Amino acid sequence: MQQLSAWMGAGLVTAGVSAAMLAGAGVAAADTPSGSDAGTSSASTNEPKPTTHEPAETKAPTEEAAEENSAKPAATTKRKKKTRVVETREPATTTAGTTADPEPPAEKPAHRRRATAATATVAVTAAPAAKESVAQKVSAYAAPLAAAGATATPKAPAVVGLIQSVVAGVAREVRVIINGVSTVTAAAVHAVQVVATGPIPKSPAGLFQHFVYTPVHTVAEAWIGTELGHQVNGTINRLAGSYVIGDGAAGTAEHPDGGAGGWLFGDGGAGWTSTVAGQAGGAGGRAGLVGDGGMGGAGGAGAAGGQGGTGGQLMGIGGGGGQGGAATTGGAGGAGGDGAGLLFGIGGAGGQGGDGVDGGRGGNGGDGARLLGSGGDGGDAGDSGVGGDPTGLPALGGAGGNAGLLGTHGEVGHFGASGTVAVTAGGTGLSITGTWITNSDGQVVILHGVNEVYKLAPFEPAASGFSEDDAQFLAANGFNVVRLGVIWAAVEPQPGVYDTEYLASLSQTVQMLADHGIYTLLDMHQDLYSSTFAGEGAPEWATQTGGLPNQNFGFPGSYYLNLAMNHAWTQFWNNAESPTGLGLQDAYAQMWENVASYFSGNTAVIGYDIMNEPFPGFSWLPTLLGSPFFGYQQLTPFYNQVISAIRAVDPTTPVYIEPANPAVSEILDILGFPTSLGTVSDPNTVLAFHDYCGGSSLSALCGYIAKALARGAHNYAAQHRIPAFMNEFGATSAKGDLTKQMRAGDSYLMSWSVWAYTGKGDITTSGTHDGEALVYDPALPPTGDNVNTGNLGILSAPYPQAVSGTPKSWSYADGTFAFSYSTAKADGSGTFAAGAQTTISVPAVQFPNGYQVSVVGGHVVSAANDAKLVIAADDGATAVSVTVTGTAVGATAA
């Protein structure tokens, strides 16, 4: 027995000494540092979290943004947002044992808290109950046996007790191992189930997230949460002398920002949720090489939420932004963290704005990785009118984050409720019914008109001399719409300052046109981005040149060759920060909210053309060569963001969207490629497109080019069940080209507006001022030599203006107009009753000696030779055909 005890004692002494050496090897090394620099700290504080938890529940991945938008109704009220990130989990329990709850976490015992670098010494001395490592435990078990082995004659009961103590310690460690393996195994099984049963995303970024990142992250986080993982990771961190593996600490009132995750693997800690009025929430900690950024903390009353932490440098997901605090003025939601991974990254969702008398803006979604990356969704805005009458316009949702090359753009957040300020119903009388523009009586409305855009300060049509006699001239010649230029630089000359006098001047022009029965389409016009580049559009404060050369190559040459201008466009699509503190696109959307608020309810305004000829910037060459990225992942999300801003104040006025600038899209359209534009989220939308033949050098091909461009627009519109509107064509006095372009639109029964009423003030045109003009100088009466009679003779051709039914076809050649329509309603709800009237424009310039009419299925009810021919359907008629022929000189009109 003495020999046995001596042998056991000697062996256990050796084991105890070895264990003690192992335990003391990294006494000064970092285990779980706190604060934003946790990933590089080398000061030991206390042990990481020891508790075991079940694997985080995951959520099925979202589909791509375009598919989500197509199934989502128009955003007219604030709704609960869907999250973009596939993997969703409770805020990561940090080594402090806290979570990012809305309320401040309860104080934890010292051994459950992470100390900051400044309090490391105190934390170590104040943590007697800290968890021991495996080596320390073995040393503790072995020490009594070693002491016993040193005695010559230990008593048998003591030896038995020592053996029992060793066995119990080993069993305890075995249980730790078993529990750890069990937890990790369960997490792995759960991850496999999610991969096997969840819907399969279509984007490459979504596929990588679904099949690779989510399973890896789920299992790794389950490991970190086990006691075994805590012990092993702690040993690795001490031996390495840095924080290698583990989650970052949660922020505190003293140190609001969450700590960084381990530099190899670990999620960032959640930012502190502020309990102090006016104090922002803490920012989420950044992840390590692999991991998720921490959630931003909620802001105190009236303060902004914290920004989400950045996702892993190799792969990861950005943390969500914190919620803005409610107050008289709600705090803004925090921005989502960027998914900045070299391989893969998803941006975090923006935080929700706080409610208040004036709600807070939603936070922007984080950007995705450059390759396999998708942007995070923008946060919803806070509601206004909470606690009092609002003083401003509804708050807007945050912008979605930018997509990587193989990902999808984030969705815009929903605007906040307006409170007690009534949002005026559009009430224009014109709306969208399938592929038709219709009025309140259900009639199909066809619009023919002109562009009137004055491109020099003060950017008002009146400055060019456009006035009452011009409106009268247009009406007399059958035109019923003007596409009226609006310039951003004039609306918002200084950041956040909106010129209502400018809007009032435009409103006077709108009313003047309405007095003559002419509708207005408001066109936010730009050419060459801004006056900085010899064009017009954006204000100087929103023009970022990057210090690049700004050489004028003319129009449209500068689009391809001016480096400074391309930088400005690229910054716009990146939503780079502007002097307002908002992104450039955010500022543009807010500007449109102010314009739409001003004109909402104006029955003469038939729509808002969001941007004229948007240009991609430095990505123009890939776009020209067929890359769909700009159209689907930049332009379409931009339209959705601006439309949301418009709908915050005007729920019904149609919005007009355009494909990419013809400088990069027209060749592909001519070749028959589909229009590179996604699906916008609002059903009350019109596709606006431009149809130019390319000048005299391509005159022989003009008929083919014009028809191909119109066909491409028609196909997109038919696919998305919206109307197409040819809102620019012409810019020429070549009668053959002008006629071919106009007839291309007519062949698809489209509305159109020709470029231009006048060339006066047109500083960006590839033609001549007189060549593109219908009236040369609006400051003079539109008569005699001041009128381009050749163009007028083509453009004033007869056409149906309001149809009690559905148009089937019309044509005009050799002085004869032929038109047919069914009496079926465009909405499919039945047929128009007998006597329902249809109006046709037949101006005197086309029939100077009057006209004769032949009708099948209806009869004439207007006066002879009236400039507006009115046909009433006969009883029981399902189709009506009308033929109008000019009366020969000396003959009697019928």
pLDDT, one tens digit per residue, over 272-326 is 999 999 999 999 999 999 999 999 999 999 999 999 999 999 999 999 999 999 9
What's the pLDDT at 425? Answer: 54
Q: CA 318 to CA 335: how far, in whole Å? A: 10
* CA 648 – CA 405 distance, rounded (Å): 31
Hey, CA dihedral for 552, 555, 559, 561, is it positive or negative? negative
Cα 710 to Cα 732: distance, rounded to the nearest angstrom: 18
Mean pLDDT of the chain: 85
Q: Which of 103, 96, 67, 97 minimizes the C-alpha distance to 82?
A: 67
Q: Poorest-confidence range of 50-59, 458-467, 514-523?
A: 50-59
Phi, psi values for residue 348, rounded to 5° = -75, 155
Instruction: Give me the pLDDT at residue 7, please.
Output: 36
Indicate the pLDDT class of residue 175, thresholds 50, 70 and 90: low
Residue 8's pLDDT is 36
Cα separation, 498 vs 496, in Å, equals 6
Q: Which residue has the higher pLDDT, 406 or 177?
A: 406
Q: Compute the C-alpha angle 549/550/556, nearest 5°.
A: 125
Two structure tokens written together for 653? 């006025």
Q: Answer with the residue of higher pLDDT: 89 or 880.
A: 880
Q: How much is the average pLDDT of 560-573?
A: 99
Contacts of 253 (CB under 8 A, 6+ apart): 104, 272, 275, 276
Q: Write out the two tokens for 191.
A: 């991850």
Q: What is the pLDDT of residue 192?
A: 73
pLDDT score for 421: 53
Residue whose structure tokens are 């104006």: 602
Mean pLDDT, rounded, for 236-251: 97
What is the pLDDT, as a whole number, of residue 189?
76
Which residues, 6 or more positions from 291, have their beta carbon under 8 angstroms from its beta carbon?
Answer: 217, 220, 247, 261, 262, 265, 266, 267, 268, 311, 312, 316
Task: Give CA angle at 64 (60, 67), nearest 5°.
Answer: 110
Under DSSP, the state recorded for 631 is I
Contact 548, 563 (CB under 8 A): yes
Residue 700 has what pLDDT? 85
Top-confidence residue, 6 or 325? 325
Question: What's the confidence (pLDDT) of residue 193?
Answer: 74
CATH architecture of the domain covering 797-894 = Sandwich (2.60)
Six token digits for residue 310: 């950045």
Whether residue 151 has pLDDT greater than 60: no
- Which stretches of 358-495 are DSSP H helices? 468-476, 488-491
Q: What is the mean pLDDT of residues 542-569?
A: 98
Parallel, antiparallel, or unpaired: how do β-strands 868-873 and 605-609 relate?
unpaired
**The predicted structure's pLDDT at residue 31:** 45
Q: What is the DSSP string of 368-406?
A: PPSSEEEPPPPPPPPPS-SSS--SSSPPPPPPPPPP-TT
Does the domain spanning 433-796 belong to CATH 3.20.20.80? yes
Query: Does the pLDDT of residue 563 top 80, yes or no?
Result: yes
Judged on CB neighbours under 10 Å (0-12, 13-18, 19+), 27 is exposed
Mean pLDDT on 683-700:
88
- Please list, in sequence order, all residues whose beta carbon lies within 8 angstroms of the beta carbon of residue 603, skipping any fewer than 6 positions away: 427, 428, 429, 514
Total number of residues shown for the chain: 894
* pLDDT interval class at 847 (50, 70, 90): very high
Cα(731)–Cα(522) distance, rounded to whole angstroms? 20
**pLDDT the model gives residue 136:** 52
**Cα gap 380→364, rounded to integer Å:** 9
Average pLDDT over residues 437-454: 98
For residues 282 and 274, is the Cβ–Cβ distance under 8 A? yes
Per-residue pLDDT, averaged over 94-111, amounts to 36
For the chain, the first-to-last Cα distance in angstroms comes to 135
Nearest CA to 91 out of 415, 411, 418, 322 is that of 322
Structure confidence at residue 177 (pLDDT): 73
Q: What's the rounded Cα separation, in Å, for the pair 41 and 238?
A: 11
Helices (H), 477-602: 488-491, 500-514, 557-561, 563-573, 584-599
Q: Averaged over 565-571, what is the pLDDT?
A: 99
Are the C-beta atoms of residues 817 and 842 closer than 8 Å to each other? yes
pLDDT score, position 82:
43
How high is the pLDDT of residue 183? 73
Q: What is the DSSP letter of 478?
A: T
Q: How confident is the model at residue 694 (pLDDT cuts 50, 70, 90)?
A: confident
Q: What is the pLDDT of residue 783?
A: 98
Q: Mean pLDDT over residues 693-707, rounded?
A: 85
862-873 average pLDDT score: 98
Decide: residue 875, CB within 10 A, 0-12 exposed, 13-18 middle, 19+ buried: exposed
Arithmetic mean of pLDDT, 641-654: 98
Least confident of 46-50, 287-291, 730-734, 858-862: 46-50
Find, among 682, 686, 736, 664, the residue nearest to 706 by Cα.
736
Mean pLDDT in residue range 616-642: 99
Mention every residue, 6+ apart, whose C-beta is less than 8 A from residue 287. 260, 261, 266, 267, 268, 293, 294, 309, 310, 311, 312, 313, 316
Residue 832 has a pLDDT of 99
Q: Is 439 exposed, middle or buried (0-12, 13-18, 19+ CB in 10 A)?
A: middle
Provide the pLDDT for residue 698.
Answer: 73
- Region at 83 (left for phi over 0; alpha for psi -120 to 50; beta for the rest): beta
State the Cα–Cα distance between residues 210 and 808, nearest whole angstrom. Answer: 49
- The pair phi, psi for residue 890, each rounded to 5°, is 90, -15
Residue 631 CA to residue 649 CA, distance in Å, equals: 26
Instruction: Give Cα 151 to chain centroid, integer Å.
Output: 78
pLDDT band at 342 (very low <50, low <70, confident <90, very high): very high
pLDDT band at 332 (very low <50, low <70, confident <90, very high): very high
Assign 423 a pLDDT band (cuts: 50, 70, 90). Answer: low
Q: What is the pLDDT of residue 9?
A: 41
The residue with greater pLDDT, 445 or 93, is 445
SS (H, E, C) 273-339: CCCCCCCCCCCCCCCCCECCCCCCCCCCCCCCCCCCCCCCCCEEECCCCCCCCCCCECCCCCCCCCC
Place of tokens 């008002």: 460
Q: What local confidence, expressed as pLDDT, does residue 377 receive?
A: 99
Q: Is the pLDDT of residue 155 over 70?
A: no
d(CA 118, CA 39): 16
Looking at the DSSP bridge assignments, the partners of residue 439 are: 430
Which pLDDT value is given to residue 30? 40
- Return the pLDDT at 186: 76
pLDDT digits (tens, 9 = 90+) for 730-789: 999 999 999 999 999 999 999 999 999 999 999 999 889 999 999 999 999 999 999 999
What pLDDT was estimated at residue 281? 99
| pLDDT at residue 169 in the model | 65
Percent of the chain with pLDDT strictly greater than 90: 73
Handedness of CA 644, 294, 57, 353 (dihedral sign): negative
Distance CA 460, CA 501 (A): 11
User: Sign (positive/negative) of CA torsion 529, 534, 535, 539?
Assistant: positive
* Phi-psi category of residue 278: left, alpha or beta, with phi > 0 → left and psi -120 to 50 → alpha: left
394-416: average pLDDT:
98
Q: How confident is the model at residue 83 (pLDDT cuts 50, 70, 90)?
A: very low
Going from N- to C-terminal start, the domains of the chain cover 2-74+83-239, 433-796, 797-894
Q: What percent of the chain has pLDDT over 70?
A: 78
| pLDDT tens per residue across span 490-511 | 999 999 999 999 999 999 999 9
* Residue 637 clears pLDDT 90, i.e. is over it: yes
Residues 6+ apart with CB under 8 A from 586: 364, 396, 399, 575, 578, 580, 641
